[in-house]
Amino acid sequence: MNILIDNRQDKVDAQGLDRIVEDVVRTALEVEGVVDDVEVSVSFVDNEEIHKLNKYYRNVDKETDVLSFPLVEFEEIYTDIDEEDDDLDEVQPIGDIVISLEKAKQQAEEYGHSFIREVAYLTAHSMFHLMGYDHETEDEKKVMRAKEEEVMRRLKIER
């Protein structure tokens, strides 16, 4: 498994976040039954950069906390990874996560929990988007939220 982390901002101290992000990515994949052969890219940005990305890719003219960019239909990779196939020696990239650390810090203060917990939750949330989950309906939201909470429970990251 490859987890690539890129800090492209200088407004919020990102020291120590690599480890928690790696733990969350690994645990989210384990919840789905995938433990290796994938690659995920995580970028830390500020509100200005995520605003630009949100406007360009989603036509939403405001900042957000996290964006998910799946590279493929996860079910196709998941099926391929599970099969015994000698052609699958290479790592399969599943997507990119972009987190505004500036927004995460604001939300942690607003919600009354730690900055680490907020970054962990945003990472888990985005991982499940990369794996094909969404929260457009109430039923989808319940499924996705249960998976996010399972990751947080396994990592003992409390509210």
Residue written as token pair 């919020």: 12
**Please, are residues 122 and 99 in contact by the beta-carbon 8 Å criterion?**
yes
For residue 129, say whether it is annotated as part of any ligand binding site: yes
**Please, are residues 129 and 68 in contact by the beta-carbon 8 Å criterion?**
yes
For residue 51, say whether it is annotated as part of any ligand binding site: no
Closest CA to 40 of 18, 11, 63: 18
| Burial class, 112, CB count within 10 angstroms (exposed 0-12 / middle 13-18 / buried 19+) | exposed
For residue 125, say whether it is annotated as part of any ligand binding site: yes
Annotated binding-site members for Zn(2+): 125, 129, 135
Annotated binding-site members: 125, 129, 135
